[in-house]
Amino acid sequence: MTAEKPENKKWFMLTLVGKDRPGIVARISEALFQGGCYLGEASMARLGGNFSIMLMVRSAGEANRVEQMVGPVCRSLELRHHIDRIEGELHHHVDPDVRISVHGADRAGIVAEVTGALAQMGFNIIHLESDVGGSEEDPFYVMHIEGVAGREIEDLQRTLQSLAREKEIDIQVSAIDTLLG
Amino acid sequence: MAVLPVLVYPDPRLKQVSRPVESFDDSLREFLGDLEETLRAGPAAVGIAAPQVGRFERIVLVDVSCKPKIPNHGRLVLINPEFLTLEGSVVGREGCLSVPDYTGNVARAERIVVRARDEVGAEREYTMTGFEARAVQHEVDHLEGLLFLDRLVSRRDGLFRRKVYK
């Protein structure tokens, strides 16, 4: 904790990409902590063997101050990094109400076709994860989407089932019925 | 009747194990009235447990009848509940009156048999599946000092790949 009030601080989105190795998150978060930063939401993924993270960082200083904290660590770990000033909003999560799972023989265009259909129906994607499995010769593509439908799930199911038939992919649409207890 | 204040995580009292109810008297029934009013006053919650309002006794209320097309037993008072059967496992999304602004995926038994006392102390047994079974498991966890945060499974669970066997 520092004596500076949270409202006097600014949010930044720190993006890091590079070769994966153990200890990256520990080194970066230690440098930010030592620099007086507070961390918000973060998402790390290993994508195709690469380390990647997007991290909300709150600092009393400008971007160059965050740069001074993480720059040396990034150079020593051979990470590329990027810092954007953002408007940070915590404590206002949006709950998804629909989950969509897609899989099929891997080919270019699956994401564009599925997300294009969703966008036309006003679907707001909140989480998207995808992966390529199988072998070099026979790769398959898997994508999970969660979002806010803003309409009857049956409409989505109808549209996506006809897309699935046309494009020869499998699409499952299910409601996320959040239990509040 | 009164709407009671709900304890909110990270309040350490939510981690406390609750004691069994011993007397089924008017003060218990008065408390059940308050607990129910608290449940109905909040967001669309389908259950509440006594420790959520700072009374560390093994009492839960569950009512999933507000959800369309879900098999249910209506309004349930479960006192000193115990599971006789917990079968299957299904992942679903949960939130909690005591954990604002956060929901997560939790694996729960798909089918349960639960034995409990009602508000007058009579023993009852219920067989439940799906959403109602999930609600009861969520509430009974509160009696053990557990929150759904203690049982979160990763959002990426659906994407876990099998190991390659050679």
User: Among B9, B13, B139, which residue's Cα sits nearest to residue B79?
Assistant: B139
CA A4, A8, A13, A15 torsion-angle sign: negative
Question: With bands split at pLDDT 50, 70 and 90, how would you rate the model's confidence at B56?
Answer: very high
Q: At what angle do helices A63-77 and A24-34 cross, to 10 degrees?
A: 150
A-chain residue closest to B108, CA distance:
A179
A-chain residue closest to B91, CA distance:
A176
Contacts of A127 in chain B (CB under 8 A): 155
pLDDT above 70 for A62: yes
Nearest-angstrom CA–CA distance, B105 and B91: 6
Nearest-angstrom CA–CA distance, B120 and B29: 8
> Which residue has 């006392």 as its token pair?
B117
- Please indicate whether, in this complex, the C-beta atoms of A180 and B45 are within 8 angstroms of each other: yes
3-class SS shares of chain A: helix, strand, coil, % to 5: 30, 40, 30
Q: Considering only residues B157 and A31, tell me which one the structure prediction assigns the higher pLDDT.
A: A31
Nearest-angstrom CA–CA distance, B107 and A33: 34
- Please indicate whether, in this complex, the C-beta atoms of A180 and B92 are within 8 angstroms of each other: no
DSSP A56-108: EEEESS-HHHHHHHHHHHHHHHTEEEEEEEE----S-PPPP-EEEEEEEE--T
- Report which residue type is found at A169: I
Nearest-angstrom CA–CA distance, B31 and B8: 20
Q: What is the pLDDT of residues B89-115, one digit of tens each?
A: 999 999 999 999 999 999 999 999 999
List, in order, residues 6 or more apart from B147 with CB less than 8 Å away. B9, B14, B96, B98, B99, B141
- Please indicate whether, in this complex, the C-beta atoms of A181 and B139 are within 8 angstroms of each other: yes
In chain B, which among 8-37 make CB contacts under 8 A with chain A? none
Mode of pairing for the β-strands spanning A10-19 and A50-59: antiparallel
- Please indicate whether, in this complex, the C-beta atoms of A181 and B135 are within 8 angstroms of each other: yes
Interval A102-128 mean pLDDT:
97
Report the b/e string of A3-42 with b at 16+ CB within 10 A.
eeeeeebbbbbbebebeeeeebeebbbebbeebbbbeeee
Min Cα–Cα distance to chain A from B27, Å: 24
Q: What angle do CA A70, A73, A75 make, to 5 degrees?
A: 105
**pTM for the model:** 0.89
- Please indicate whether, in this complex, the C-beta atoms of A179 and B92 are within 8 angstroms of each other: yes
Q: CA-CA-CA-CA torsion for A53, A56, A58, A63, nearest 10 degrees?
A: 60
A34 touching B (Cβ < 8 Å) = no
pLDDT, position B159: 43
Q: What is the pLDDT of residues A11-27, one digit of tens each?
A: 999 999 999 999 999 99
pLDDT above 70 for B160: no
Contacts of A93 in chain B (CB under 8 A): 101-103
List, in order, residues 6 or more apart from A165 with CB less than 8 Å away. none
Min Cα–Cα distance to chain A from B47, Å: 5
Distances (CA, A) of A127 to A40, A96, A124: 17, 9, 9
Nearest-angstrom CA–CA distance, A28 and A12: 14
pLDDT above 50 for B161: no
List, in order, residues 6 or more apart from A146 with CB less than 8 Å away. A96, A98, A99, A100, A125, A126, A127, A128, A176, B155
B164 touching A (Cβ < 8 Å) = no
Contacts of A146 in chain B (CB under 8 A): 155
Nearest-angstrom CA–CA distance, B134 and A181: 10
Interval B62-68 mean pLDDT:
93
For B150, phi then psi, to 5°, come to: -75, -10
- Please indicate whether, in this complex, the C-beta atoms of A181 and B103 are within 8 angstroms of each other: no
The reply to whether B139 belongs to the active site is: yes
Q: Which residues pair with B124 in a beta bridge?
A: B116
Nearest-angstrom CA–CA distance, A1 and A114: 45
pLDDT, position B42: 81
ipTM confidence: 0.88
Q: Which of A131, A146, A179 is opposite residue B159, by nearest beta carbon? A: A131
Nearest-angstrom CA–CA distance, A124 and A97: 10
Interval A27-38 mean pLDDT:
98
